Amino acid sequence: MGLDDRIAEAPMAHYQKRLEAGELAYQFSPKAGRAIFYPRIACPYTGSTNLEWRKSSGRGTIYTLTKLFPSNARSYAVALVDMLEGFRLMTRIVDATAEDVEIGARVALAIRPGENGDACPFFVLEGK
């Protein structure tokens, strides 16, 4: 197996491919009985390399956030989101100003291009 084959099979490559297909994928460790995120080659709780890929519902709740108010742009929020499946990720809340975003708000996945053009998991406020 060549280097390109190993890179194509890498957890981050698989994760990115799923994002490009419109899915937020995460890993699950049967041995630990826990969701794993960010993608990796071994479970951080048990060391097991037996990890399953699963598709997230794309729904979660804001655990904590930082509100940013740049002088030359619209305000925005960066948040840690607790996903229904049991993992947490850092993301940006889009289509809302920082003033609209609060801890405990429910959010939904909105995959969009990031600064480098690759698909990224952003979130929108549910019901907005």
pLDDT at 54: 97
**Would you place residue 6 in the very low, low, confident or very high pLDDT band (cuts 50, 70, 90)?**
very low
Q: Judge whether residue 33 has pLDDT over 50.
A: yes
Q: How far apart are CA 87 and CA 58, in angstroms?
A: 11
Q: Judge whether residue 51 has pLDDT over 60.
A: yes
Strand blocks (E) in the chain: 25-29, 34-36, 52-55, 59-68, 76-83, 88-93, 106-113, 119-125
Q: If you average pLDDT over residues 66-91, what whole number do you get?
A: 95
pLDDT at 122: 97
Q: Where are the domains of the chain?
A: 1-55, 57-128
**Would you place residue 128 in the very low, low, confident or very high pLDDT band (cuts 50, 70, 90)?**
low
Q: If you average pLDDT over residues 94-108, what whole number do you get?
A: 96
* Reported pTM: 0.87
Contact 44, 34 (CB under 8 A): no
Evaluate whether the domain defined by 57-128 bears CATH number 2.40.50.840.
yes
Q: How far apart are CA 58 and CA 37, in angstroms?
A: 14
